[in-house]
Structure 1
Amino acid sequence: MTVHQLPVELVVFAGWLSELAGRLEPGGGWYGVFAARDPEGLRACFDGTEVPPWDVVESLLQDLGEPADGPRAARGRALHRAAAAVHDRAPGAAEVLAERRRLMEREAAYAETRIRTLAETPGAAAELAWARDDLQRARARVAELGARLAGLQGPRRPDAPAPAVAPAPAVAPARAAARRRPRGARYAWLDTEAADAVPEEAQVVPELPVGGGAAPRGARFGGAPAAPAPAPLPAVDPGQAARAAGNAVYALRRLRAQGRGGEAHGLLCEALAGPPGWLPVLAAELHRAGLAADWATLLWEAASLPPARLAAVAGALADAGRPHDCEQLLRQGVARPVEELAGACAALLAEGHQAEAGALLAAFLRVRTPEDAARLAALDPAGLTAPLLAAARTVSPARERDLLHALRVAGTA
């Protein structure tokens, strides 16, 4: 049996990526989504047999709270480029890169069509933001793949004709969607052959993209207009909540068994529109059914809710005795604009959830700069300065000192 040894550049990048993943919570954030939706692709990256798109690496760095221009990101980008350069020199790699680029061009065309449709659809602001985010990711991958292909061609003589960047096939986006698995740039990554293998009768609803990348963007981070705060909801009937959870789990299992991941994702998002008090019951039912990954995905999507709604969900989880889920939800929301975080804190405090507000502020202080914290305090000095300082004390004495300095410079303290 022949043993193939990987080039050192691939081994080093795979080691760096594995070390990065080891610092993340396995069931949360982007890492949890990738692990649940594409375990084989993720494993190939950890093994060094595949190089992920850079935006995937950016998403994992964002999970860790690393700045896009920080030293860890710079080191990762250098290793990623070296690994990609070696990977692309393998026999047949150029053809694979060209095919992936064509797929990404098709994704971009589909996203553009979807944006035009949603722009004329009332009440579709959030979906429109997801589609724009998906378009941005697809375009970034087209550029990345084009640069990798250009690197294989080497420098061109001034008198040489420009190489042909082959046009995307003239496939109508709607027809292409019927042949594809769950849509979105984050899925068209490794599986180029199976992308056309799904029969037309198995058409799925396009899956909404998730924000990520070097800077927070999209509806998850305020890219779409914030919806008005929901009206107070009536008390939840336990029997009604149990029936709704049972029905949701039954539908999810059927959709998963049929490979209809986009519709399953949509069903999870719909659950967030229901009474917050139903979610702890749904969480318990999902875990009993072996669908814990779906609960992690739902929590990740909940982090994009408008501030008052986010606070209501966090409070419902805390009241139901699920403090870990509540803390995870709040941690995942700290990349939002400070204006939205101020609204979430105010809503939590107004509902009597001081501990949860403190957890949100502590998570914010761990991953954001003291200057960001001072901007947050400036939005409501009387209501947020004291809770911010109290949260900083729970993080570390150094963080409290840095925050005090930033508050004095900003004129808040």
Structure 2
Amino acid sequence: MTVYQLPAEVGAFARYLGEVAARLVPGRGWYGVFADRDPEGLRACFDGTEILPWDVVESLLQDLGESPAGPEATRARALHRAAAAAHDRRPGGAEALRERLAAMEHERRYAEARTRELAARLGEVPGAPDDRTADELAWARDDHARATSRVTDLTARLAALAPDPGRVPSAVAATPRRKPRGARYAWLDDVEEAPAPGPAVELPVAGAAPRGARYGGGEAASGLTARTARTARTAPAVTPEVEETAQDAGRAAANAVYALRRLRAQGRSGEAHALLCEAVAGPTGRLPALAAELHRVGLGADWATLLWEAASLPPGRLAAVAGVLADAGRTADCEHLLRQGVARPVGDLAGACAALRAEGHHREAQALLTAFLRVRTPEDAAQLAAADPDGLPQLRAAARAVSPARERDLLHALRVAGLAGT
């Protein structure tokens, strides 16, 4: 008989859910609701067979009185992202995601129609509201919000399985040689078509790719290692972004937000998410203007979704986006992006730290390391030090900033790994 062994990341998240469940009161709060609605599904998630949707994790933390932006939620998010990525990489994972995405989109549409129906029924009742209908409407709205959240989550997980993580999946990608047109592709309307890749170019001595450059194939596609950042003399072809003025970036942002609002108003959430993915894959210099425009019109949640997507970009691209946000004075967004990326493989994070330092963004590299040390094990930190020995002083400083105990744990892990004298 073949015994299936859970990936380490899935096992770690399942153990964390067990810790959360031990602190919850059975039959109370959201925990009681989910246990009553789908006991078998909840049990499968606690066993690690399935991945608990993030909105459910948030609700369980709410039962515990934890803040959505607190350290407990940050830890849970990192473990959830790592577990979902490992779960999706299993054989048949992509097909399972597509089936679940289609089912959840159906659930979203049903909940949306049910919400409209119940709201109209309430509006027709004269005098005191119908308590039963009002209660049903509240649940329908909750179902719609959860289904929308899960469609976004599943779409992003499916996109992360694409051959090029910086591109949207083929189901929503353009066929980006001909340039797509129309409201949905407003973000790309002003971009010139990129030339075909040329011969390999020589990097500067610092070894980091120019900000915003996108790499095709080779080592950079799977993660820029710190050793490569120090020693490589050649790299895959670089396609430079189109130089733009602030006025150009503002116009592109306004076009994108106009298209996004139309798609949201028409209930076309899948296409709206695709537009955000296109923005992540587009010129990084436009992102600060897009952030400002989204917040101006009350679409801050879409900016949060975009940052979540950016957290899964290849290391060099992730560092480029973080650098652009920092340069534009969007420090909180930059640090939020880096915190969301700490669940990635250690080699990816080492490459991102090296790229940030090479671009002079030492503060952002420090923020990434600090977030990493808060949620990852000391053994993971030792692996990062082995991949990026030049960053060891900054890693130790970040551990010291977290707590004296974390610094002691790091030093012990470094000694065990034979890196104490590095």
Task: Calculate the TM-score normalised by the size of structure 1.
Answer: 0.55
| Equivalent of residue 354 in structure 1, options 349, 362, 365 | 362
Q: What is the aligned partner in structure 2 of residue 394 from structure 1?
A: 401
| Equivalent of residue 384 in structure 2, options 376, 388, 406 | 376
Q: Supply the AA of the counterpart residue of 2:414.
A: L
Q: What is the aligned partner in structure 2 of residue 14 from structure 1?
A: 31
Q: What is the aligned partner in structure 2 of residue 406 from structure 1?
A: 413
Q: Write out aligned runs for 1:10-159 (5 A).
A: 10-14=27-31, 54=45, 55-56=52-53, 60=58, 64-66=74-76, 133=93, 135-137=95-97
| Equivalent of residue 283 in structure 2, options 269, 275, 300 | 275
CA shift in 2, pair 1:220/1:12, >3 Å: farther
CA shift in 2, pair 1:223/1:271, >3 Å: closer
CA shift in 2, pair 1:266/1:278, >3 Å: same
Q: What is the aligned partner in structure 2 of residue 210 from structure 1?
A: 156
1:268·1:298 contact (CA, 8 Å) conserved in 2? yes
Q: Supply the AA of the counterpart residue of 1:339.
A: G
Q: What is the aligned partner in structure 2 of residue 226 from structure 1?
A: 222
The DSSP-based 3-state class of the residue aligned with 1:334 is helix
CA–CA distance in 2 between the matches of 1:69 and 1:276? 28
CA–CA distance in 2 between the matches of 1:222 and 1:377? 25
Q: What is the aligned partner in structure 2 of residue 337 from structure 1?
A: 345
| Equivalent of residue 297 in structure 2, options 282, 289, 302 | 289
| Deviation digits for residues 27-58 of structure 1 (CA, Å, limit 9, x no counterpart) | xxxxxxxxxxxxxxxxx869x87888642158
Deviation of residue 336 (structure 1)? 0.4
| Deviation digits for residues 360-386 of structure 1 (CA, Å, limit 9, x no counterpart) | 0000000000000000110121x1211
Q: What is the aligned partner in structure 2 of residue 108 from structure 1?
A: none
1:236·1:275 contact (CA, 8 Å) conserved in 2? no
Task: Calculate the TM-score normalised by the size of structure 2.
Answer: 0.54
2:370·2:399 contact (CA, 8 Å) conserved in 1? yes
Q: What is the aligned partner in structure 2 of residue 302 from structure 1?
A: 310
Deviation of residue 276 (structure 1)? 1.1
Q: Supply the AA of the counterpart residue of 1:365.
A: L
CA–CA distance in 2 between the matches of 1:265 and 1:298? 9
Deviation of residue 390 (structure 1)? 1.0
CA–CA distance in 1 between the matches of 2:412 and 2:282? 43
The DSSP-based 3-state class of the residue aligned with 1:211 is helix
Q: How many residues align?
A: 266
Q: Supply the AA of the counterpart residue of 1:65.
A: R
Q: Supply the AA of the counterpart residue of 1:331.
A: R
Deviation of residue 210 (structure 1)? 3.0
CA shift in 2, pair 1:231/1:377, >3 Å: farther
| Deviation digits for residues 152-173 of structure 1 (CA, Å, limit 9, x no counterpart) | xxxxxxxxxxxxxxxxxxxxxx
CA–CA distance in 1 between the matches of 2:351 and 2:108? 40
CA–CA distance in 2 between the matches of 1:309 and 1:229? 14
CA shift in 2, pair 1:400/1:267, >3 Å: same
CA–CA distance in 2 between the matches of 1:241 and 1:405? 48
| Deviation digits for residues 121-147 of structure 1 (CA, Å, limit 9, x no counterpart) | xxxxxxx989965534578x8xxxxxx
CA–CA distance in 2 between the matches of 1:10 and 1:187? 29
The DSSP-based 3-state class of the residue aligned with 1:401 is helix
Structure 1: stretches of 5+ with no match in the other structure: 1-7, 16-43, 71-127, 142-182, 198-205
CA shift in 2, pair 1:69/1:285, >3 Å: closer
Deviation of residue 189 (structure 1)? 5.8
CA–CA distance in 2 between the matches of 1:328 and 1:220? 26
CA shift in 2, pair 1:129/1:405, >3 Å: closer
CA shift in 2, pair 1:249/1:68, >3 Å: closer
Deviation of residue 338 (structure 1)? 0.6
The DSSP-based 3-state class of the residue aligned with 1:210 is helix
CA–CA distance in 2 between the matches of 1:306 and 1:68? 17
Q: Supply the AA of the counterpart residue of 2:419.
A: T
Give the CA RMSD over aligned residues.
4.2
CA–CA distance in 2 between the matches of 1:64 and 1:309? 22
Q: What is the aligned partner in structure 1 of residue 266 from structure 2?
A: 258
Identity %: 58
CA shift in 2, pair 1:289/1:355, >3 Å: same
Q: Supply the AA of the counterpart residue of 1:327.
A: E
Deviation of residue 11 (structure 1)? 1.9
CA shift in 2, pair 1:395/1:230, >3 Å: farther
| Deviation digits for residues 80-125 of structure 1 (CA, Å, limit 9, x no counterpart) | xxxxxxxxxxxxxxxxxxxxxxxxxxxxxxxxxxxxxxxxxxxxxx
Check if 1:314 corresponds to 2:331: no
2:166·2:313 contact (CA, 8 Å) conserved in 1? no
Q: Supply the AA of the counterpart residue of 1:261.
A: S
1:283·1:295 contact (CA, 8 Å) conserved in 2? yes
| Deviation digits for residues 53-79 of structure 1 (CA, Å, limit 9, x no counterpart) | 642158658954249999xxxxxxxxx
